[in-house]
Structure 1
Amino acid sequence: MSTIAEDLYVWLPPKRGWGLANCGLLTSSRTAAWIDTPYDPTLAGEFLAESRKRLAAGVSVDRVIVTHANGDHLWGAGVLPDAEVIATKEALEHIHYEPTPQQQHALVKGADPASPLGWYLGEHFGQFDWSSTEPVHPTLMFQGELELRVGDHPVHVIGLPPAHTDGDLIVHLPRQRAVFSGDIIFASTEEFPGDHPVHWAGPLQNVIDACGRVLDTGAEIVIPGHGPVLDRAGVRRHIAHLEYVQERAHALHAAGIPALDAARRVIAEGRHPELGLPERLVVTIGSEYRHLDGSEQPAILDVMSQVATVARELEPARIPGRRSADGRPVLPA
């Protein structure tokens, strides 16, 4: 865990990949808050242990602000059973869309590893353990904006239109000149390459506008949902990437190319070879097509089956279970 501003700490997972989210701790002499949580009880316990090292005597973490309802930002709140869990009212829609923790555990452990979906779930989610994780229910839900304080530190919580998910929010800490963006931003830098963004709700214009809201706060430090901490220039680079994906999705849709094939074409263009998990473009471009078509959101397992199919096409010779130091799959020599 690293100090990034006055009484503000960030917990950055040591590798990239699905489910490895950034989390924040804001402390004071009287109270403390988490901004997002790790994915499973093991990781959440590690974050809690590191948090306690930085708390004043007698202080506990009594609030959890959840930037959105994906499990990798929410489910770890179970290690703080007495904490107030804050989310937007709209986030309930995404909670209902995802499997519960125990359903997801059964799915990952019980899927056929010979199938594309079973192989993919095992490779990317098999490291997590939700066998005893109960669903987390927000205890304070709001719409619009919410003003809080952690000790003397003001906390401005800003709800957003549907973007990464239904019910996203950003957390602005004006005293620290910092913003937690959640998965509005998947960060990457030359020194620390990240993964392709994945967006379940959209449209991409809402994601781009949300990045603009991050810049509008005037913050100098931006903690993304995944990847390295960014400055303002890094956010602008991310906006440019989103605009590229948006332009290609619209052009391919206008040409009559189906969404799955459009994702394959954008992947093949290789615009950002440094980014991992290019198969996630299946989700993002599929979401954009739904807004262009006016079609309904498909079941999450149908989407992930398409993601897995494209991932297997991209890495047909991948050796199951072998990973490099940064967590990426290892291919045969």
Structure 2
Amino acid sequence: MTTARANISAIAEDLYVWLPPKRGWGLANCGLLASPRSAAWIDTPYDPSLAGEFLAESRKRLGPGVPIDRVIVTHANGDHLWGAGVLPDAEVITTREALEHIHYEPTPQQQHALIAGGDPQSPLGWYLSRHFGGFDWSATEPVHPTLMFHGELELRVGDHPVHVIGLPAAHTDGDLIVHLPRQRAVFAGDVIFGSTPQFPGDHPVHWAGPLQNVIDACTRVLATGAEIIVPGHGPVLDRAGVHDHIAHLAHVQERAHALHAAGVPALEAARTVIAERRHPELGLPERLVITIGSEYRHLDGTALPGVLEVMSQVAVVARELENGTVPGPRGAADADRQGQPA
């Protein structure tokens, strides 16, 4: 992928974070935990080009011959997993439940073919090309986790303890967080999307839910006592930033429940919340289609549709936003708007 170079910086003792240079789909944060004898990655970049860049920067911060022999994957979205192929000898660690989401997404080469062969005149083809066309998975083989666990896992990287905590379904089935007690840090994966006034991020997107599980996962992050929280995307946060994120999630939850109770269909509910523009600084508002759709499925007891069906709806709303034609609220006049800004 051709892009400005990512930034890698030290955030605690022997701990580094690799931050992509801009926001957007697929540009995930990654971590390196170093020691004199071994090292671990926490998540990987999306494609071999970005993963190779992260690998080169990681090796600059390790002693001669020190291997990166573990990759801890916070969840099974490809933008956190697929780059592990540049470390073919590393142990890839994730939860057992994450396997379900691996099977839900296309393989890397299927996704590459879908984007390369898409119709640019269709909303889905236009959207996938715009947001994913810069990545190259043409030769990327699927990544198969080699150590799967349920619950919690205690590891060490050199003298550094690593506490890996599996979560109930939240952003995806099989989320985990990585607590580094010595560094007072947590890598939260996509249960948290970072945003600050100085560095606004993107709208959170959640495939599994319900949102209460995502909020509970954020609370679990805070319960570790960590002072440094690395979200899956966006800037590194402090504890106050996580509290702000919880408040945002709770607002989306409240609006989804109110609109559902008023009989507003899920897609129309997403359009309604987008039109309210509570957080205009956040990018990719069309992702509310996924998050609110997930919340509706829990309220209705229905199953997750195919990923292309979901992304087609996202693309339609994104094109409406592009053209300035997102419909205003329809059928939502009686929905509770408590807490909405004037």
TM category (shorter chain) comes to over 0.9
How far the C-alpha of 1:34 sits from its partner, in A, is 0.1
2:242 maps to which of 235, 256, 269: 235
CA distance, structure 2, for counterparts of residue 41 and residue 139 of structure 1: 20
How far the C-alpha of 1:237 sits from its partner, in A, is 0.1
CA distance, structure 1, for counterparts of residue 303 and residue 251 of structure 2: 24
Query: What residue number does 1:39 align with?
Result: 46
CA distance, structure 2, for counterparts of residue 126 and residue 60 of structure 1: 32
Q: How does 1:244-323 map to 2 (within 5 A)?
A: 244-316=251-323
1:23 maps to which of 16, 26, 30: 30
Query: What residue number does 2:146 align with?
Result: 139
Query: What residue number does 1:173 align with?
Result: 180
Q: CA RMSD in A?
A: 0.8
TM-score (norm 2): 0.92
CA distance, structure 1, for counterparts of residue 189 and residue 303 of structure 2: 25
Is 1:9 the counterpart of 2:13 in the alignment?
no
How far the C-alpha of 1:58 sits from its partner, in A, is 1.6
Query: What residue number does 2:134 align with?
Result: 127
CA distance, structure 1, for counterparts of residue 43 and residue 111 of structure 2: 20
Structure 2 residue runs of 5 or longer lacking an equivalent are 1-7, 326-342
CA distance, structure 1, for counterparts of residue 121 and residue 302 of structure 2: 31
CA-to-partner distance for each residue in 1:195-242, whole Å, 9 max, x for gaps?
Answer: 000000000000000000000000000000000000000000000000
Query: What residue number does 1:210 align with?
Result: 217
Indicate how the Cα distance of structure 1 residues 111 and 317 shifts in structure 2: closer, same or farther if over 3 A, else same. farther
Query: How many residue pairs were aligned?
Result: 318
Find the residue that maps to 1:26 and give its secondary structure. Answer: strand
How far the C-alpha of 1:60 sits from its partner, in A, is 1.3
Indicate how the Cα distance of structure 1 residues 286 and 179 shifts in structure 2: closer, same or farther if over 3 A, else same. same
Is 1:158 the counterpart of 2:170 in the alignment?
no
Structure 1 residue runs of 5 or longer lacking an equivalent are 319-333
CA distance, structure 2, for counterparts of residue 25 and residue 299 of structure 1: 34
Find the residue that maps to 1:175 and give its secondary structure. Answer: helix
How far the C-alpha of 1:317 sits from its partner, in A, is 7.3
TM-score (norm 1): 0.95
CA-to-partner distance for each residue in 1:98-146, whole Å, 9 max, x for gaps?
Answer: 0000000000110000000000000000000000000000000000000
